Structure 1
Amino acid sequence: MNVAKITAEGKTFNVDGGANLNEALLEQDIDLNSDGFNCHGHGICGVCLVRVEGAVSAPTMVEKIRTFFRPHSIHNERRLACQTKVLGDLLVTKFDG
């Protein structure tokens, strides 16, 4: 199994390839679910939106539908962490709000 390096919020850590990005971030105390909203990984609330640079899975149909609408639609590098599998080294940027 391959190991990927993730850099996010000033932390750098390793995860197994194929790991769910949101779960990997939560294990490092990087919580993307702000303001009490949380769809528990179903991809419908959109609060786990992050910018990713690196190797990740293709967007799921749920993610494509959720990010089709503005303000997300013009930003291809933005992903829902709960729907994203880590495939290689990543730089992850969390958004405020």
Structure 2
Amino acid sequence: MPKVTAQGKTMMCDRQSNLRKVLMDNGIELYNNNAKIINCMGIGTCGTCAVLVEGEVNEPNWKDKARRSLPPHSPTSDRRLACQTQVLGDVKVTKFDGFWGHGSEPVWKPEA
């Protein structure tokens, strides 16, 4: 079973689990500021669940690529949409500042 490390917690999940669901089911605060209220609930259209993922995950799908091609995201950034990411192996997740998680300052890192 893959391990997901985020915000000082390590959780186990099934292979191909949805990263957004794993994080939220384990009490990880995925959304910044008002994005906690205003988000697409995981359908891949808002981009507020963007995170840096280190480890084995699926290739970005068309929803992930399409949303990250629009500002304030960039198709060349190292972020992924948690709602469109499948965990394939052990991963470490970092959340950055900004409404869409597009900033440069970490809000939280894998380790506390």
Identity fraction in percent: 50
Residue in structure 2 matched with residue 80 of structure 1 by the alignment: 81
Distance 2:92 2:44 in 1: 21
Q: Secondary structure at the match of 1:16?
A: coil
Residue in structure 2 matched with residue 7 of structure 1 by the alignment: 5
Q: Which runs of 4+ in 1 moved over 2 A?
A: 69-72
Distance 1:24 1:13 in 2: 8
Distance 1:84 1:68 in 2: 16
**Equivalences for residues 55-70 of structure 1 within 5 A:** 55-70=56-71
**Equivalences for residues 3-82 of structure 1 within 5 A:** 3-34=1-32, 35=34, 36-73=37-74, 74-75=76-77, 77-82=78-83
- Unmatched tracts of structure 1, length 5 or more: none
With normalisation by structure 2, the TM-score equals: 0.78
Q: Secondary structure at the match of 2:48?
A: coil
CA-atom RMSD, angstroms? 1.2
Q: In structure 2, give the amino acid aligned to 1:43.
A: G
With normalisation by structure 1, the TM-score equals: 0.89
